[in-house]
Amino acid sequence: MAENRTLARPYAKAVFEIAREKQAFDRWSKSLAVLASLSVDASVQAMLTSPKASPAVRAEVLAELSAKAGEKLEQQGRNFLGLLADNRRLGLLPEIAADYERLRAEAENTLEVELAAAMPVPAEEQKRIGEALQKKLGRKITLKYVEDKTLIGGAVLRAGDLVIDGSVREKLSRLAAALTY
């Protein structure tokens, strides 16, 4: 939802600035990832939307759940949760986490690329693809490989907004479209 991303942006930017100042990108990435995954859980959602729970209780419960999930929040993280709870913005945690990661990637000049292929791609080939993309895009590339049998053959590269679709499925779709018009 575009509105949620708009609402989440200032929070993500604030967390990013704190993380940059404290040189704590990894810590905040982990914390936000855990909090985002907790916030989409159905039972946690029920608590977050319950009129019976005060903002302070909501923030405290999320902090405790985070600790149980292996990510104990420092005071700044607890303060951040309290701020979100007071402003009724805990539901924005997934968007905040995603926007934070985007800002972090820009600052570190990195890009996560997904390589989806119908058949297994050897590690040396993955490395060559990553190096070629790094040279073309001028950023440090983290290549994530997934096998997708629905592609029939070929591969699809997704790097942010850039999508290179060399799959047989896509070629068949284009052929079908051309034949129907």
User: What CATH architecture applies to the domain 2-105?
Assistant: Orthogonal Bundle (1.10)
CB 60 within 8 A of CB 69: no
Per-residue pLDDT of the chain (181 residues; tens, 9 = 90+): 459 889 999 999 999 999 999 999 999 999 999 999 999 999 998 988 888 999 999 999 999 999 999 999 999 999 999 999 999 999 999 999 999 999 999 999 999 999 999 899 999 999 999 999 999 889 999 999 999 988 888 899 998 778 999 888 888 888 888 888 7
Q: Which of 160, 114, 111 is nearest to 140 (CA)?
A: 111
The residues near 146 (Cβ < 8 Å, ≥ 6 apart) are: 114, 115, 116, 117
Name the β-bridge partners of 80.
none
For 116-143, letters b (16+ CB in 10 Å) and e give bbbeebeeeeeeebbeebbeeeebebeb
- What pLDDT does 180 receive? 85
Distance in angstroms (rounded) separating the CA atoms of residues 123 and 144: 11
Task: State pLDDT tens for residues 26-72.
Answer: 999 999 999 999 999 999 989 888 889 999 999 999 999 999 999 99
- Reported as type and span, the H/E element at residue 147 is strand 140-147
Beta sheet of 162-165, edge-to-edge order: 140-147, 110-117, 155-159, 162-165
The rounded Cα 75 to chain-centroid distance in angstroms is 24
In the chain, CATH 1.10.520.20 sits at: 2-105
Residue 144: strand pairing partners: 114
